[in-house]
Amino acid sequence: MNSNTSLLVFENPGLIAYYAAQKLATLSTKFTPAKPANIALSGGSTPKALFKLLAEAPFSEVVQWKNLRFFWGDERIVPPNDPESNFGAANELLFRHLPEPPMYYRVAGLLQPEEANVQYRNVLTQMVPINEYGIPVFDWIMLGMGSDGHTASIFPGQPLQNVQDDICGLASHPETGQKRVSFTMTVINAARDVSFLAAGAGKAEMLKRVIEEEDTTYPAAQVAPVSGGLEWCVDKAAATLLSPK
Ligand code: 6PG
């Protein structure tokens, strides 16, 4: 792991969620409605515990929601109320429970894949401050990791894995063929701060390959923010194969 990467091992997934909720609360105090923090959420099941925690006191009251804006690192091309929708999960478990939902910019899952991709690219460049290379710079990107080493919807061996001259693109789930829009590695590595949330014994083998062997065959191992921070928030079950420090 390089110098700006840290590994945090938690007893259980609930404590990962608590840590991430505290991080969001702290972040929210450092921004204002006029200059909100731009945050990208991950999909999948891991963040659901975080959403539930944030939807209740104390976090629902402590987080300065008006100082935050939410995006997604990837989204399935499905309707927003589809059980497969990453936006749908955040809305169902978190946003709709808040007195005043925060600003969010979701992928237009009802459009055709390429249209949704074009529309999201425009949203990202218009709503998120860009760096000198024209790349949107997120204040915090939350990621998950699949047991195959994918992150966001950047799957090993798919064309999107090597795209460096775009900020988002299309992917297909390798088993289901489900179409998705995803950040490219370019956007992820331009962020100020990136946190992986990964839990469960099913991630242990890949975690070793990614964190210790740094095998960039796997997209999760390609996450290396140019100047931002990177932290791996994992539970003990996922960390079982990592060498003790
Ligand atoms: C998605 C995610 C994806 C997810 C990993 C881990 O849309 O599926 O963004 O990258 O984070 O597959 O998923 P779990 O949290 O369910 O293990």
Residue from 163, 154, 219 nearest 181 by CA: 154
Say which amino acid occupies 152.
A
pLDDT tens digit sequence for 165-209: 999 999 999 999 999 999 999 999 999 999 999 999 999 999 999
Question: In the sheet that 168-172 helps form, which strands lie side by side, from edge to edge?
Answer: 74-76, 179-183, 168-172
pLDDT tens readout for residues 63-122: 999 999 999 999 999 999 999 999 999 999 999 999 999 999 999 999 999 999 999 999
Taking CA atoms only, the protein residue closest to ligand 1 atom 9 is 43
Closest CA to 65 of 55, 75, 52: 55
User: Cα of 60 to ligand 1 centre, how many Å?
Assistant: 24
The pLDDT of residue 107 is: 97
What pLDDT digit, counting tens, does each position of 115-137 carry?
999 999 999 999 999 999 999 99
| Ligand 1 pocket mutation, candidates 16, 41, 42, 197, criterion most atoms within 8 A of CB | 42
User: pTM of this prediction?
Assistant: 0.98
Tell me the pLDDT tens digit for each residue of 146-177: 999 999 999 999 999 999 999 999 999 999 99
- Work out the pLDDT band at 244, boundaries 50, 70, 90: confident
> Longest C-alpha distance within the chain, in Å?
48
